[in-house]
Structure 1
């Protein structure tokens, strides 16, 4: 098993494509056995994100349905967003809850830090479980109002088979949240 001390040497790094949101970087690498290869990745931005599984006192999960350009359809998932400069992950999680579902959380429990596709992206996302919700809204940056969907926690495992609930990060967060909730019963 290779350790970080045997990471490939970066011989050259160059931005080969750029858009308003993304920069694609080409990396010329030399591995510890002398083999050289060129890899491409999204250039690290240093900004990370959060995703929150909110659970109401009535035992409902709160999800949002919003348009996703990548799939060109409306997707059902948990509130999420980027961490703003100077903001902690838990502060960002609470802000995103207020912007997307109109609730804050007195209890935010980190579940896990995940990476979407480590071969291409370095950005991390911290998954949270949010409880003890209270009404509070902040203006968000979404181009249209988000549809809030209440889903009974007792039927959470059925959510995984729902056609619109397909985002891997939301599915991962749901299973991690259920593990915590079941361990407290």
Structure 2
């Protein structure tokens, strides 16, 4: 981070334009970096995005398939969801993993943090690499109609490369894992993935 950088925007006012249980939209009157008056709308989720990239002892992972309403299409993703900002992210990510896949993880490590759409939203995400897995019963939310797919990590990475996976959190997590594996930087005790 550039410690000498300063904010070139000037906020003149802020109002809540819309709010529901999931998001708040604010509209700011601003002076742009060029000094002109303008408006800036910001969508703020009332949660933080969390995700888990599970890897079992055989180098397999799980993807969750579901219809994404805003995109009006089907999406394959790592287990992920919205989480309380009041609970540590790893606890919420492990909860999402259990709910969506039935898996519990004895070991985890933070994989990455993301700003998901920083031109229009302040939504952030925290993603964990999880292993030493135990199978159990999935319990998805009533708003979720999920399919699970177990496949080699290398195949999931290829899906991120060739565009079959487009979810930003999933693509970033899979490509980060690939880089760690290629550099020989996987956590101790983690099964090989490539």
> Shared topology, TM-score over 0.5?
yes
Deviates more, 1:105-114 or 1:151-160: 151-160
Call closer, same or farther: CA 1:168–1:18 in 2, change over 3 Å. Answer: same
Residue in structure 2 matched with residue 134 of structure 1 by the alignment: 134
Q: How many residues align?
A: 184
Residue in structure 1 matched with residue 112 of structure 2 by the alignment: 112
Call closer, same or farther: CA 1:118–1:20 in 2, change over 3 Å. Answer: same
Residue in structure 1 matched with residue 31 of structure 2 by the alignment: 30
Report the CA distance between 1:92 and its aligned residue: 0.7
Supply the distance in 2 between the matched residues of 1:33 and 1:90 (Cα, whole angstroms). Answer: 41
Q: Would the aligned equivalents of 2:117 and 2:123 in 1 still touch at CA under 8 Å?
A: no
Residue in structure 1 matched with residue 64 of structure 2 by the alignment: 64
Supply the distance in 1 between the matched residues of 2:166 and 2:85 (Cα, whole angstroms). Answer: 29
Report the CA distance between 1:131 and its aligned residue: 0.8
Residue in structure 1 matched with residue 15 of structure 2 by the alignment: 14
Supply the distance in 1 between the matched residues of 2:45 and 2:143 (Cα, whole angstroms). Answer: 24
1:39-72 residue CA offsets vs partner (Å, 9 max, x unmatched): 1111x35521211111111111110111110222
Residue in structure 1 matched with residue 189 of structure 2 by the alignment: none
Q: What is the correspondence of 1:71-110 to structure 2 with a 5 Å cutoff? A: 71-84=71-84, 86-110=86-110
1:129-179 residue CA offsets vs partner (Å, 9 max, x unmatched): 111111234633143542111121233432225664221221111011222
Q: What is the correspondence of 1:38-49 to structure 2 with a 5 Å cutoff? A: 38-42=39-43, 44-45=44-45, 47-49=47-49
Residue in structure 2 matched with residue 154 of structure 1 by the alignment: 154
Supply the distance in 2 between the matched residues of 1:156 and 1:95 (Cα, whole angstroms). Answer: 22
Q: Would the aligned equivalents of 1:95 and 1:138 in 2 still touch at CA under 8 Å?
A: no
Supply the distance in 2 between the matched residues of 1:126 and 1:2 (Cα, whole angstroms). Answer: 23
Does residue 165 of structure 2 align to residue 165 of structure 1? yes
Residue in structure 2 matched with residue 179 of structure 1 by the alignment: 179
Q: TM-score, length-normalised on structure 2? A: 0.81
Does residue 96 of structure 2 align to residue 122 of structure 1? no
Q: Would the aligned equivalents of 2:160 and 2:175 in 1 still touch at CA under 8 Å?
A: no
Deviates more, 1:80-89 or 1:109-118: 80-89
Supply the distance in 2 between the matched residues of 1:21 and 1:83 (Cα, whole angstroms). Answer: 11
- Aligned Cα root-mean-square deviation (Å): 2.5
Supply the distance in 2 between the matched residues of 1:84 and 1:2 (Cα, whole angstroms). Answer: 30
